[in-house]
Amino acid sequence: MKRILITGVAGFIGFHLVKRLMKDDFYLVGIDNINDYYDINLKNQRLKNLEIFSKNNNSNWKFFKSDLVDEKALRLIFYEYKPDVVINLAAQAGVRYSLENPREYIYSNIVGFMNILELCKENKVKNLIYASSSSVYGLNKKIPFLEKHPVNHPISIYASSKISNELMAHTYSHLFNIPCTGLRFFTVYGPWGRPDMAPMIFTKAIFSKSPIEIFNHGNMWRDFTYVDDVIESIIRLINNPAKRIIKNKLDIESSETSMAPNEIFNIGNNNPIKLLDFIEILEDEIGIKAIKKYREMQKGDVEKTFADSTLLSEKTGFSPKTSIRRGIKEFISWYKEYYRIN
């Protein structure tokens, strides 16, 4: 039975991934430090939901409350369960939060990830999949974003930490032959979503009839990606670890070409939508008009994100495809149930 260790299991994507994997024949080990960056009650409810789902499906599931920075505790978990696959979704998230609390990103996203890499090396892990972010594209103006585009102009500490993860993974992949796959997520949304992200912030404001702050005067586009599509992408990569991909032996400067078993993929819907249109779809689904307050662009934000998912499709035969209207419908249905709104 394949053993999979997943970090960040009380988080949005981690929760959905574990729940999906519980339907299959895996031994699952989950880690989360359950920090208070956002509502701990939501995180605990996710974990409670996983426990119930695990019992109903007779799943092999073990959870540890632990921090990736705690190398000793992490080492014990690795040595006891000896994972074949590691999926690192734990990270200090949030672009705006990183402007005020930069050190949190160094501890969680860089020191913590270093511990993961070291233990993957020591335990000869066969497949490491880790979360990166569309934020790495920073000031890149070429649209849509391709994995081979330069990512050397980040505009937040969060983005810098994710670029660091990609570089660290490549180094360990090259030196120790660890198959490493980085996933650049594009604005993931859906049921059980993060309260600090736009879909939850906007929805809460609309229901409470409070103003929504819309930055850059509404001239923002986001490639919103439904969480089920993200999970399907990860599932298809579990049994399809990174390989050496050399399209041109003289060119090893992009993530498409490497002497190491190291790959990076955009995980996005390949269909950016204007933020004002996104709000309009929320209004239609909720049945309440939003109160809008327009603001200047915030530091660390970018005007547009747009994923080219060709590489993911070539690798897995799948690319995100859930329409924004269907995704919002599912999200609002969950929101009403969870927050008991009639």
Residues involved in catalysis: 158
Rg (CA), the chain: 19
Determine how β-strand 221-222 pairs with β-strand 273-274.
Answer: antiparallel
| Alpha carbons 92 and 94: distance in angstroms, whole number | 7
DSSP state of 299: T
| Alpha carbons 278 and 199: distance in angstroms, whole number | 9
Mapping DSSP to helix (H, G, I), strand (E, B) and coil, where does residue 194 land?
coil
8: left (phi over 0), alpha (psi -120 to 50) or beta: left
Pair 3, 29: CB distance under 8 Å: yes
Q: Give rounded-to-5 percent helix, strand, coil for the chain.
A: 45, 20, 40
Pair 143, 149: CB distance under 8 Å: no
If one counts every other C-beta atom within 10 angstroms of the C-beta of residue 74, the result is 22
| Alpha carbons 329 and 190: distance in angstroms, whole number | 9
Helices 12-21 and 227-238 pack at an angle, to 10 degrees, of 60
Helix ranges restricted to H, the chain? 12-21, 40-56, 71-81, 95-100, 102-105, 112-122, 157-176, 198-208, 227-238, 275-286, 310-316, 324-338
| Alpha carbons 40 and 17: distance in angstroms, whole number | 19
